[in-house]
Amino acid sequence: MRWRTVGLALPPLAVALAAAWVMLRPAPRSAATLLDSRPVITIGTEGAYPPWNFTRADGTLDGFEPELIRNLCGRAGLRCQMVAMDWDGMIGALHARKIDLIADSVQITPSRREVVAFTRPYAQTTGIFVGARDGVLANMPDRGLVLNFDKSSPAVNAAIARLRDALRGKVIGVEISGAYDLFINRYLKNVVTIKYYHTMGERDLDLLNGRLDVALEDAAYMGPLLATHEGAALRMVGPEVIGGDMGKGEALALRPDDHALKARFDAAIGAALADGTIHRLDLKWFDMDARPPAGDAQP
């Protein structure tokens, strides 16, 4: 026996009310509209990674990224605020929706792309090894050679072998969970003793006081340190490194589902690259051209 479906007739008044509700219900808001409805976009930064970002004596944030963010938010038509926090808590804060973006010299690495999305890059810098000017690594081979780990070759492999030999048994300092941490663990893990730091200030003090043999860090960060009176005791040693675990340049990090925010900042970064704003900020804060390769619009 088949079941018979019985229709329920609604009273005329109920039908009229239901029709009116459908007609008056507001249309779903677009992602762009929802973005514009946010009272403020909150951007996390360390505030302790000069010249990318730092905190002035009066508590205000300054540096390349705070100045860039002010420019980008103006172009994007968004109200933004920057807040300082420890680097190792930023991705957690992003996913907990305590912040909407991270601006902290975040390198676009394969492992980070598994947990966050990125805007197009606004910079690309190399990593450099820095040690004591008169230390055991002062004459480390391949000084000035740039090793691009996106382009494997016999020459790169030979340089890695020389790097491992030079650093064998040495103590190297690196920021915890940073892109250079990934590089060291891939190529030098069984060769060096790794000392991790939550802040670069602590690492720099140990390097200046001889408690480290060498540090691997961003060239734009290390440049101002080497130019100081204290930094005169240090020098760049060995090769420069780029690509691979160290990523495709620096960009803003955001939640993977925040498509409208990404589109807004991608457009703003593209415009700031095109009109020379980012180049001007590079020269002001880094004293070098740190723009990503032309045409590198996607991470």
10-15: long-range contacts at Cβ-Cβ below 8 A with a sequence spacing of 24 or more?
Answer: none
Residue 99 has pLDDT above 80, yes or no: yes
Please indicate, yes or no, whether residues 116 and 254 belong to a single structural domain of this protein. Answer: yes
**Tens digit of pLDDT for each residue in 212-251?**
999 999 999 999 999 999 999 999 999 999 998 888 899 9
Q: What are 234's strand-pairing partners?
A: 132
Query: How large is the average pLDDT for residues 193-214?
Result: 95
- Looking at the domain assignment, is residue 26 inside a domain? no
Contacts of residue 272, defined as CB under 8 A and 6 or more positions apart, other chains included, come to: 68, 71, 72, 75, 122, 278
CA distances in angstroms from 7 to 4, 11, 18, listed in the order given: 10, 13, 17
Please indicate, yes or no, whether residues 161 and 221 belong to a single structural domain of this protein. Answer: yes
Range of the domain at 131: 127-246
Please indicate, yes or no, whether residues 134 and 239 belong to a single structural domain of this protein. Answer: yes
Confidence label for 4 from pLDDT (cuts 50, 70 and 90): very low
Amino acid at 74: G
- Looking at the domain assignment, is residue 25 inside a domain? no
Please indicate, yes or no, whether residues 110 and 149 belong to a single structural domain of this protein. Answer: no
- How many beta carbons lie within 10 A of that of residue 182, not counting itself? 20
**Per-residue pLDDT at 295:** 63
- Looking at the domain assignment, is residue 40 inside a domain? yes
Q: Choose the weakest-confidence range: 107-111, 216-220, 258-262, 274-278.
A: 107-111
- Looking at the domain assignment, is residue 58 inside a domain? yes
- Looking at the domain assignment, is residue 103 inside a domain? yes
> What predicted TM-score, i.e. pTM, was given to this entire model?
0.80
**Per-residue pLDDT at 299:** 60
Please indicate, yes or no, whether residues 213 and 151 belong to a single structural domain of this protein. Answer: yes
Q: Choose the weakest-confidence range: 24-38, 112-126, 139-153.
A: 24-38
Last residue of a domain, one of 231, 246, 261: 246
Please indicate, yes or no, whether residues 215 and 260 belong to a single structural domain of this protein. Answer: no
- Looking at the domain assignment, is residue 230 inside a domain? yes
**Per-residue pLDDT at 171:** 98
Mean pLDDT rounded to a whole number for the chain: 88
**Tens digit of pLDDT for each residue in 181-196?**
989 999 999 999 999 9
In total, how many domains does the chain have?
A: 2
CATH number, domain of 62, equals 3.40.190.10
**Per-residue pLDDT at 13:** 52
- Looking at the domain assignment, is residue 16 inside a domain? no
From the number of C-beta atoms within 10 Å of its C-beta (0-12, 13-18, 19+), residue 251 rates as buried
Please indicate, yes or no, whether residues 76 and 219 belong to a single structural domain of this protein. Answer: no
Please indicate, yes or no, whether residues 151 and 194 belong to a single structural domain of this protein. Answer: yes
Residue 9 has pLDDT above 60, yes or no: no
Please indicate, yes or no, whether residues 140 and 223 belong to a single structural domain of this protein. Answer: yes
**Per-residue pLDDT at 15:** 46
Strands of the 48-49 sheet, one edge to the other: 48-49, 53-55, 61-62
Which tokens in the block code for residue 282?
A: 């590079």
- Looking at the domain assignment, is residue 61 inside a domain? yes
Confidence label for 11 from pLDDT (cuts 50, 70 and 90): low
Please indicate, yes or no, whether residues 133 and 237 belong to a single structural domain of this protein. Answer: yes
Percent of the chain's residues with pLDDT above 90: 75
Which tokens in the block code for residue 57?
A: 């004596």
**Tens digit of pLDDT for each residue in 141-179?**
999 899 999 888 899 999 999 999 999 999 999 988 888
Query: How large is the average pLDDT for residues 25-33?
Result: 49
Contacts of residue 47, defined as CB under 8 A and 6 or more positions apart, other chains included, come to: 53, 54, 55, 61, 84
Please indicate, yes or no, whether residues 149 and 190 belong to a single structural domain of this protein. Answer: yes
**Per-residue pLDDT at 75:** 97
Strand 41-45 to 101-107 pairing: parallel
Please indicate, yes or no, whether residues 92 and 140 belong to a single structural domain of this protein. Answer: no
